[in-house]
A and B are shown apart, each in its own frame.
Chain A
Amino acid sequence: MDELIISTVAQGLLWSVMAMGVFITFRTLNIADLSVEGSFPLGGAVAAMLLAEKVNPATAIVAAGLAGMLAGAVSGLLYTKLKIPALMAGILTMIALYSVNLRVMGKANLSLLNTDTIFTSLEFLKLSPNLTTFVAGLCIAVAIPLWLYWFFGTEIGMAVRATGNNPQMIRAMGVNTDDMFLLGLVLSNGLVAVSGALIAQDNGFADVGMGAGTIVIGLASVIIGEVVFGTRNFKNSLISVVLGSILYRIVIAIVLYLGMPPNDLKLFTAILVAIALSLPLVKAKWDSRMVGM
């Protein structure tokens, strides 16, 4: 049981990196970016391919992140330069990445069972596998939000946030909003790919289909985090994303434990997100009804 809890939290920590990527586009830039469905397996594919070539795990993760950034740049350019709506730009990138990922791996599935990973390289800590994942996840899930907190507090980071908030205003303040959208998408997809690289190493394989539902899982984590842990300020929002990601994994573990078939997980998550997204409307209706009473 303890092992199960540790493993669930560890999963949440690794996935939180992806959720932070989704947070950047969905909340900070205020656009729904579906390219993450492609950049998540891209990260896994790039890392797996490099690890199979005996590349150092840390280098493989960095390379995965860079590949994700490139994917984000493609979406960003489609959106800002070619004026393709953000949703469509993301879908195009996602579909294109499916082929790219197959090319990167050379096949649909690449096993990592006999290669070194970031987790096997931590074996010197002499911890159980789950605890090792937990420690690695914790380091990453603390370091990245700290870095994001710094970045979004800088002049450029504040301009990115303002761009998502009110592009008209920030243009009037002299900022090229196209550049800011591009930067945000690059950053977001880079994080999502890093998360993909971590999850692939944790799972012991990379699969071309591992990205299905990424956006929904990301949204679920972001929204659960917001509802339960708050959005008082930017720092609070960032922490909420990480905690939301962990909480989402716990919810999933519980429903599986209660006997829900794993095949229904995506349906369950989609319904969860649909409910969460409609909460503001439901709440407003409810409040107005209460006033009428």
Chain B
Amino acid sequence: MLKVEGISKTFFAGTVNEKTALKNVSLEMKPGDFITVIGGNGAGKSTLLNAVAGVFKVDSGKIYIDDVDVTQMAEHKRAAYIGRVFQDPMMGTASGMMVEENLAIAARRGKTLSLRWGFRDDESVEFKEKLAKLNLGLEDRMKSRMVTLSGGQRQAITLLMATLRRPKLLLLDEHTAALDPKTAEKVLDLTKKIVEENALTTLMVTHNMRDALRFGNRLLMLNDGEILLDIHGEEKAKMTVHDLLEAFEKSGGEDVSDRMLLS
């Protein structure tokens, strides 16, 4: 499904600000894999997801999605394969446009756009049904602008948008980090539901170790641009936060960031 072969990325190469964010990272995902990714601040989690999404080109290595080499493919072209939800609830939607318009755009992700009307009536019905399933009362807000919605509502819609056309790969970058705990829980439940219903191959970054253990069938821990831990199926299912911290220290990780401990 997703195959990442030894990718590296250095920002500001050759300057005093030089920062190697990914060091020869390799990763292979099977269809239906739901991988959670943890790691301290600056570990390279976002960089990994952005490299896969094509936000920038990697310095070396290869990226394949379903055996298609996308390493040199532009971000907007890769979008045909990838659904994304970002940490910032402002980032995933066009805030000045209506809920319905945002969904219509998402329903055309990766398609060639034409001069046909932006959305069809039968789509509106479908959108309404799908919004109703989110259980946030959004089905009555189809004509509202995104700015008028709360962060949680926006993230739920962004999640719906990312999966409206089934993506080959779903990338979630701390998509609940900006939400209050109760809303975050709700959006996480929605995530689980949508991922399972559609059997989506998913990479989910979280800074919450408990969530990382609770969700998915595989866990990656990144540290300083490298994959430090890669824990699969059974082993992951049995693991506790305590085990995880122990494993982290044993494998030579530096100080666990406060942020990770606290969560």
- Per-residue interface assignment for chain A, residues 134 to 176, with 1 indicating a CB less than 8 Å from any chain B CB and 0 otherwise: 0000000000000000010111111101100110111111111
Alpha-carbon distance between A174 and B73 when the two chains are bound, in angstroms: 12
A11 beta carbon closer than 8 Å to chain B: no
| Cβ–Cβ contact B114 & A155, under 8 A | yes
B91 beta carbon closer than 8 Å to chain A: yes
In the complex, which residues 80-100 of chain B have their Cβ closer than 8 Å to any Cβ of chain A?
Answer: 80, 82, 84, 86, 90-98
Tell me the nearest residue of chain B to A27, going by C-beta: B96
Tell me the nearest residue of chain A to B80, going by C-beta: A174
In the complex, which residues 129-165 of chain B have their Cβ closer than 8 Å to any Cβ of chain A?
Answer: 161
| Cβ–Cβ contact B77 & A174, under 8 A | yes
| Cβ–Cβ contact B84 & A156, under 8 A | no
Tell me the nearest residue of chain B to A180, going by C-beta: B113
Q: Contacts A158-B105, A165-B97, A168-B91: A153 and B79 contacting too (C-beta < 8 A)? A: no
Tell me the nearest residue of chain A to B93, going by C-beta: A169
A25 beta carbon closer than 8 Å to chain B: no
B13 beta carbon closer than 8 Å to chain A: no
Cβ of B3: which chain A residues have Cβ within 8 Å of it? Answer: none
Cβ of A151: which chain B residues have Cβ within 8 Å of it? Answer: 115
A177 beta carbon closer than 8 Å to chain B: yes
Cβ of B98: which chain A residues have Cβ within 8 Å of it? Answer: 233
Alpha-carbon distance between A156 and B105 when the two chains are bound, in angstroms: 10
In the complex, which residues 105-135 of chain B have their Cβ closer than 8 Å to any Cβ of chain A?
Answer: 105-106, 108-111, 113-118
> How many chain-B residues does the 8 Å CB contact rule pick out?
35
Cβ of B114: which chain A residues have Cβ within 8 Å of it? Answer: 154-156
Cβ of B80: which chain A residues have Cβ within 8 Å of it? Answer: 174
| Cβ–Cβ contact A159 & B113, under 8 A | yes
B256 beta carbon closer than 8 Å to chain A: no
Q: Contacts A169-B92, A174-B77: A155 and B97 contacting too (C-beta < 8 A)? A: no
Q: Contacts A157-B118, A172-B84, A174-B111: A165 and B95 contacting too (C-beta < 8 A)? A: yes
| Cβ–Cβ contact B113 & A155, under 8 A | yes
Contact of A173 among B74, B90, B95, B108 (CB under 8 A): B108
B66 beta carbon closer than 8 Å to chain A: no
> How many chain-A residues does the 8 Å CB contact rule pick out?
23
| Cβ–Cβ contact B91 & A158, under 8 A | no
Cβ of A170: which chain B residues have Cβ within 8 Å of it? Answer: 94, 105
- Per-residue interface assignment for chain A, residues 249 to 288, with 1 indicating a CB less than 8 Å from any chain B CB and 0 otherwise: 0000000000000000000000000000000000000000
Cβ of A233: which chain B residues have Cβ within 8 Å of it? Answer: 98
How far apart are B154's CB and chain A's nearest CB, in angstroms? Answer: 11
Contact of B91 among A154, A156, A166, A177 (CB under 8 A): A166
B76 beta carbon closer than 8 Å to chain A: yes
How far apart are B146's CB and chain A's nearest CB, in angstroms? Answer: 9
Alpha-carbon distance between A156 and B114 when the two chains are bound, in angstroms: 6
Tell me the nearest residue of chain B to A161, going by C-beta: B97
Cβ of A171: which chain B residues have Cβ within 8 Å of it? Answer: 75-76, 79
B174 beta carbon closer than 8 Å to chain A: no
Cβ of B116: which chain A residues have Cβ within 8 Å of it? Answer: 154-155
| Cβ–Cβ contact B105 & A162, under 8 A | yes
Tell me the nearest residue of chain A to B90, going by C-beta: A166
| Cβ–Cβ contact B74 & A155, under 8 A | no
How far apart are A31's CB and chain B's nearest CB, in angstroms? Answer: 15
B178 beta carbon closer than 8 Å to chain A: no
| Cβ–Cβ contact A165 & B115, under 8 A | no
| Cβ–Cβ contact B76 & A176, under 8 A | yes
How far apart are A228's CB and chain B's nearest CB, in angstroms? Answer: 20
Q: Contacts A155-B116, A157-B118: A173 and B104 contacting too (C-beta < 8 A)? A: no
Cβ of B110: which chain A residues have Cβ within 8 Å of it? Answer: 173-174
| Cβ–Cβ contact A162 & B94, under 8 A | yes
26 sampled A-B residue pairs with Cβ under 8 A: A153-B117, A153-B118, A154-B114, A155-B113, A155-B117, A156-B114, A159-B113, A165-B95, A166-B90, A166-B93, A169-B93, A169-B94, A170-B105, A171-B75, A171-B79, A172-B82, A172-B92, A173-B105, A173-B106, A173-B108, A173-B110, A174-B76, A174-B108, A174-B111, A175-B76, A176-B74
5 interchain residue pairs of minimum CB distance: A174-B79, A165-B94, A174-B110, A155-B113, A162-B94
